[in-house]
């Protein structure tokens, strides 16, 4: 489900970036303008790679869950890690994308001074960092869970 919802989100994000109607028509000049617009591009690429592609690959890797006995502590640990990873990647990507759009719009369209743009972007730094840390913690929990499962099978 995580991979499917990330795939749907990726399609929606892609469509919103290429719609030539307002307010979405400002996205392409923001990307071309660079600066804060690179946050938007980074959020998009991160969502595609760490979101959809990684979750789709992980779901193939975690196919072993279907064959494992239900109610195992490893399954609970694995699902907790997957939830944390999904939430972290989604939050980080969306926050980066939104911050990039806001900052890029201020830079490219509104032509605000750098100090104003910096004050617009500063509130996003800590939430993006926390989201990235959550995704990393989730990935570590997933790996720990798989390691414990395979160690128990041998």
DSSP state string for 15-73: HHHH--STTGGGHHHHHHH-TTHHHHHHHHHHIIIIIIIHHHHHHHHGGGGGGSPTT-H
Closest CA to 16 of 39, 36, 40: 40
Which comes out higher in pLDDT, residue 75 or 44? 44
Predicted local distance difference test score (pLDDT) of residue 69: 62
**Residue 73: predicted pLDDT:** 60
Q: How many C-beta neighbours within 10 Å does residue 68 have? A: 14
pLDDT tens digit string along 75-116? 788 889 999 999 999 999 999 999 999 999 999 999 999 999
Report which of residues 3 and 80 the model is more confident about. Answer: 80
Q: Which residue has better confidence, 47 or 60?
A: 47
CB 110 within 8 A of CB 23: no
Q: How far apart are CA 78 and CA 39, in angstroms?
A: 31
Q: Cβ distance 87 to 127 under 8 Å?
A: no
What is the model's pLDDT at position 127? 94
28-43 pLDDT, tens per residue? 888 777 788 888 888 9
Q: Tell me the pLDDT band of 65, cut-offs 50, 70 and 90.
A: low
Per-residue confidence (pLDDT) for residue 70, from 0 to 100: 56
DSSP letters along 75-117, please?
HHHHHHHHHHHHHHHHHHHHHHHHHHHHHHIIIIIS---HHHH
Whole-angstrom distance, CA of residue 139 vs CA of residue 74: 14
The pLDDT tens digits of the residues spanning 117-127 come to: 999 999 999 99
């Amino acid at each position: 489900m995580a991979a499917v919802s990330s795939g749907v989100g990726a399609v929606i994000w892609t469509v919103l970036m290429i719609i030539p109607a307002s307010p979405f028509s400002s996205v392409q000049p923001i990307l071309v303008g660079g600066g804060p617009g690179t946050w938007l591009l980074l959020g998009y690429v991160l969502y595609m790679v760490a979101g959809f592609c990684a979750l789709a690959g992980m779901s193939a890797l975690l196919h072993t869950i279907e064959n494992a006995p239900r109610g195992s502590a490893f399954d609970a640990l694995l699902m907790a890690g997957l939830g944390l990873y999904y939430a972290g990647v989604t939050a980080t990507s969306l926050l980066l994308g939104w911050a990039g759009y806001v900052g890029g719009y201020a830079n490219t369209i509104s032509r605000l001074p750098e100090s104003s743009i910096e004050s617009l972007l500063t509130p996003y730094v800590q939430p993006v960092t926390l989201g990235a840390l959550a995704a990393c913690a989730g990935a570590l929990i997933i790996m720990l869970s798989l390691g414990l499962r395979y160690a128990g099978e041998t």
